[in-house]
Amino acid sequence: MTDLPWKWTAHKAVEELKSGRISPLELIDSCEKRIADTNNLVNALPTLCFDRARKFAKIYEQNKTKLLNNSQLPDYHLHGLPIAIKDLMPVKGVRSTMGSTLFKDNIPKKSDVLVSRLESNGAIIIGKSNTPEFGAGGNTFNDVFGATLNPWDTSKTCGGSSGGAAVALATGQVWLAHGSDLGGSLRTPASFCGVTGLRPSPGCVPKSSSKLPFHSLFVEGPMARNAIDVGLFLDAMAGHEYNDPLSYERSSISYKTAAESQELPNKIAYSPNLGFAPVVKEVKDICENISNLMASNGATVELAEPDLSGAIDTFHTLRAAQFAAEKGNLLKDFSHQLKPELIWNIQKGLTLTAQEIYEAEIKRGEIYSKFVEFFEDYDLLICPAAIVPPFDVNLRYVDESAGVKFDNYIDWIAITYVLSLSSCPIAATPAGITADGLPVGVQLVAPPRREDIALSSAGWLENKLELNKNVPMEPINNGS
């Protein structure tokens, strides 16, 4: 193993911290140097809080002996590991803009319950990762901090909306990065940056910073450079919090242990496009290679996908309703400070009828039932994580793929957002590299609340392909 801490896996770093062979302050120093060396090329972590981090680290070090002698200290304690939090989530005392000029000077007085949970489990926050305005869109840029660039080719997008998180991981700025996912916000950046992320089942990871605490399409989740580290992070995230009415007690299964098991399920469904998505040939070929690999290693792999008829309209309605509820109050007085795509989303939500919304909720229930029935026959569903490889960062979104034109800014990520309706845990992990040297990811969809299956499968795939060893990396500057 290298002596450069930023190249370590997260679980290696935690073991070094736990043993006392390295201190949190030393890892914070490593982060600061690595960010200084790379962030000017990629703009992943525009807001840093090293003074706060060192304060937390010193307090942790003062209590270290007591903590290590405490038999109640959980196995998933992170022992002072530096992490990044997405700029949609409030961290007390740290600038939290949500990518909006309306909040460019916002300093929260209270952290989200997930932030507090992570800090109590030994995480130390060193900065906020860049995100599109209010997390809307699959390309990470905003008027506060500008665009975040893909380290595999800095002329390309890193995806969104957890783009800053994915890039911070890929360049070695942090070992673990918090992400979130409504329609693919965690999975698309993982695919575009060659890292691994998990959209967990609703309620697995608690949160509190929402006007809609009973809304379950939007979830928080872990991102890392490999499945074991994702499992470690999910162990530190998961559990019940009273602030989140949907949250539930953590599983008796260690997610890290599940990822370490690296087991392939017996019966797997493979879909090249979920029955509708215009996936480009190169991406389709790479993902088909994954299905063939699984079949050649003993799994029964069949071409199949659940019935997703009506899923696109259902997601559009529920997403628009959410944006109208959360951001509708901004439209009247601040429309000139909102990007046009966001205005379109809010306006669509404000014009919805009650019948349209409840019909969408009913349809979502039907889709969930179809997935439950589907997983009576299969243990896992695999499909592409994006319909295209990373594209020009100057394009706001993909408007055409494989001969199909899109009339809005989110339908190019329909291959991820229709799966959000299922409430199933979904890992996005590297599947291959294009001829141009860009990463391609695959989605591993497991039955409801079976994050262990998704992570174990991701671990198996990593072990076979070893693509996770491509990161962390030096950014490749192509003159953007």
pLDDT digits (tens, 9 = 90+) for 430-457: 999 999 999 999 999 999 999 999 999 9
- What pLDDT is stored for residue 136 in this prediction? 97
The reported pLDDT for the residue numbered 304 is 98
Homologous superfamily of domain range 9-310+358-470: Amidase signature (AS) domain (3.90.1300.10)
What confidence score (pLDDT) does residue 252 get? 86
For the chain, what is the mean pLDDT?
96
DSSP codes, 267-324: EEEE-SSTTT----HHHHHHHHHHHHHHHHTT-EEEE-----TTHHHHHHHHHHHHHH
Please report the pLDDT score of residue 479 as a whole number.
62
Task: Report the SS3 class of residue 223.
Answer: strand
Q: Residue type for 278, please?
A: P
Burial status of residue 365 (CB atoms within 10 A of its CB: 0-12, 13-18, 19 or more) = exposed
Q: Is the pLDDT of residue 413 over 60?
A: yes
Indicate the DSSP class of residue 29.
Answer: H
φ and ψ at 303, to 5 degrees? -75, 115
pLDDT band at 464 (very low <50, low <70, confident <90, very high): very high
pLDDT value for 456: 98
Q: What is the pLDDT of residues 76-110, one digit of tens each?
A: 999 999 999 999 999 999 999 999 999 999 999 99
| Token code pair at residue 40 | 């000017």
DSSP 329: H
Report d(CA 230, CA 458) in Å as an integer: 10
Supply the residues annotated as catalytic: 86, 161, 185
pLDDT at position 71: 54
pLDDT value of residue 1: 39
Query: pLDDT per residue over 253-303, tens digit each?
Result: 899 999 999 999 999 999 999 999 999 999 999 999 999 999 999 999 999
Per-residue pLDDT reduced to its tens digit, 358-379: 999 999 999 999 999 999 999 9
**DSSP bridge pairs for 381:** 269, 445
Q: Where are the alpha helices (DSSP H) in 224-269?
A: 227-237, 255-261
Enter the tokens of residue 230: 């994702």
Which whole number is the average pLDDT over 124-135?
98
What confidence category does residue 69 fall into, taking pLDDT thresholds of 50, 70 and 90? Answer: low
pLDDT of residue 478: 82
Work out the angle between the directed axes of helices 50-62 and 24-42 (0-180°, nearest 10): 160
DSSP code of residue 249: P
Which residues are paired to 128 by β-bridges? 47, 85
Q: How many CB atoms lie within 10 A of CB 129?
A: 33
Is the C-alpha dihedral spanning 233, 140, 349, 311 positive or negative? negative
When pLDDT is averaged across residues 169-183 and rounded to a whole number, the result is 98
Nearest to 306 by CA among 250, 370, 358: 370
- Output phi, psi for 93, to 5 deg: 80, 5
For the chain, what percent of residues have pLDDT higher than 90? 94
Distance CA 351, CA 180 (A): 27
Burial letters 343-362, b for 16+ CB under 10 A, else e: bbbbebbeebeeeebeebee
User: How much of the chain, in percent, has pLDDT values that exceed 70?
Assistant: 98
Query: What span, in angstroms and rounded, lies between the C-alpha atoms of 174 and 315?
Result: 33
pTM higher than 0.95 for the full model?
yes
- Tell me: pLDDT of 73 over 80: no
| Per-residue pLDDT reduced to its tens digit, 6-39 | 999 999 999 999 999 999 999 999 999 999 999 9
How much is the average pLDDT of 70-78? 77
